[in-house]
Amino acid sequence: MSSEHVAGLPSSVDVYDTTLRDGAQQEGISLTVEDKLRVARQLDALGVRYIEGGWPGANPKDAEFFRRAPEELNLEHATLVAFGSTRRAGVKAESDATLRSLLEASTKAVCLVAKAWDYHVTDALRTSLGEGIKMAFDSVDFLVKQGLEVFFDAEHFFDGYKRNPSYSLSILDAAEQAGARTLVLCDTNGGALPFEVEEIVARVSEVSAAQIGVHFHNDSGCAVANSLSAVRAGATHVQGCINGYGERTGNANLSTVVPDLTLKMGIETVPRERIQLITSLSRHVAEIVNLPLSPQSPYVGASAFTHKAGLHVSAIARRPDAYEHIDPETVGNGTRFVVSEMAGRQSLLLKANELGVEIRDEALSQVLERLKELEHKGYHFEVADGSLELLLRLSEGWTQDFFSLESFKVLTEYKEKGESVTEATVKVVVNGERVIETAEGNGPVSALDAALRKALRPYFEALSQMHLTDFKVRVLDSDKATDATVRVLIDSSNGDDTWSTIGVSSNVIEASWHALVDSIVVGLIRAAASSVYL
């Protein structure tokens, strides 16, 4: 990996975040004003140069955001930008409602979107090409004369340029003449490809003296690549959204673009020491927008530095950078290993170390063979580290002596009006004593869990701190209908620690029982290890 500056590239690029405006245009995202303020604070802490906060004239929420921002944000690094369109056709700039609401937002900078494709001027705005140019000029001119820094988003620039370059360039020229700070070439439909981008941005850089910026949508899957190509061709301002949120397939993902520009191309973007905040920021923003972050997200995803294949893990154990393109800590992420049927001895050894289980070299091959057999039957140890820990311990001759099962029974009684009650009875031996307990639950697993806890609780105080946090059932061979094998996964927690356990059987209650017993046994082992009294 090189973070040295590459000759011929700009020394710095302005990062312009539009998560709160274009990001919020993604289907499924709806931010409150508080959410927007929280995201803005996070972006400022990362050190982005500009934060586009929303369109103040479009809805009361964005207007309130801009009203509250000066008092509640105290931005250290970033400049807040209000977004809106140019004046409407046939309306004077000073009387245009959108431009007035931009002024009322009281930011130092604004961003104006204008049509840069002739087809959009004639067919979407339904006005003349000359009026399209005047709308751009008048709007920028009006806001610059009010003392504002103006970014100019040339909407559909790439599509327009490919069809009628002279019109698209004259729109840019109008904005530049009127005093726009930055001409932002937008790939609004997101269909551009990197080689086209490089050629077009290079051409615009030749004819324009203003700063060139870019804004890419991801419809061809190239938004990040296009942003990097644009920088190679002369752009020094890049727009995008955290986690690639945005209209349709999203915008250029800043959680990728920023590390790429900084770590791969040696370009200054956010302050160098803050790049390590990008993983936590990306995950925090995912929480706020309430969308799970894809584990495969480059740099910041949970799987970005997770290794599964045995050959990879064995090499990494010898050379940590063997299968990692950067040191994960640079971006605040970390290396993980998962163990599955694709593991080799080295993977298992590393996992055993991580789980605090000592395992002899001779035992490794034997456990690996057993693990692969179990995975063939439907186990999935990658997501069940608790059960994997027990498998490793068993291979070293350990047996759980907390309790032994004599039998369990589950009854579901259907009552009038469709109500049902499930009751479980467990018979276990603890400390040489036979214990029989019955409990009710809202289903077989909760009833079994309650009965087992009732039986064990007098002997193991630590059980009061343990609880199940999730329960998942997956049918593995659904073509066998009711004879299908099912996999049950249980997540558990004791407040400090979490673990996952697994059970597989053609009987869902039996599979649940195995996962449940593993969950309790792992919890008791952890309690013993942290000297919580049992």
* Residue 247 within binding range of ligand ACO, rule CB under 6 A: yes
> Residue 365: CA atoms inside 13 Å, Cβ hemisphere, count?
2
Site for ligand PYR in 129-168 (CB under 6 A): 153, 155
Tokens describing residue 322: 């063997």
**267 touches, from ligand PYR, ligand ACO, none (C-beta below 5 to 8 Å by class):** none
Q: Which is nearer to ligand ACO, 237 or 274 (CB)?
A: 237
* Residue 155 within binding range of ligand ACO, rule CB under 6 A: yes
* Residue 88 within binding range of ligand ACO, rule CB under 6 A: yes
Token pair 């055993």: residue: 352
User: What burial class does residue 250 get, using C-beta atoms within 10 Å of its C-beta: 0-12 exposed, 13-18 middle, 19+ buried?
Assistant: buried
* Residue 17 within binding range of ligand PYR, rule CB under 6 A: no
| CA gap 90, 12 in Å, rounded | 40
Site for ligand PYR in 198-227 (CB under 6 A): 215, 217
Nearest to 518 by CA among 358, 416, 393, 363: 393
Amino acid at 228: L
Among 36, 115, 283, 312, binds ligand ACO (CB under 6 A): 115
Among 9, 58, 383, 468, binds ligand ACO (CB under 6 A): 58
Q: Which is nearer to ligand PYR, 153 or 385 (CB)?
A: 153
**35 touches, from ligand PYR, ligand ACO, none (C-beta below 5 to 8 Å by class):** none
**86 touches, from ligand PYR, ligand ACO, none (C-beta below 5 to 8 Å by class):** ligand ACO
CA angle 69, 58, 214 (to 5 degrees): 80
Q: Which is nearer to ligand PYR, 22 or 35 (CB)?
A: 22
DSSP secondary structure, 127-187, as one string: S-HHHHHHHHHHHHHHHHHTT-EEEEEEETHHHHHHH-HHHHHHHHHHHHHTT-SEEEEEE
**85 touches, from ligand PYR, ligand ACO, none (C-beta below 5 to 8 Å by class):** ligand ACO
Among 24, 46, 113, 357, binds ligand PYR (CB under 6 A): 113
Q: Which stretch binds ligand ACO (CB under 6 A): 113-121, 166-174, 269-277, 440-448?
A: 113-121
Q: Which stretch binds ligand ACO (CB under 6 A): 10-18, 51-59, 400-408, 468-476?
A: 51-59
Contact (CB, 8 A) for 311 and 317: no
* Residue 526 within binding range of ligand PYR, rule CB under 6 A: no
Nearest to 235 by CA among 190, 274, 267: 267
Q: Which residues here bind ligand ACO, judged by CB under 6 A?
A: 55, 58-59, 85-86, 88, 113-115, 125, 135, 155, 188, 247
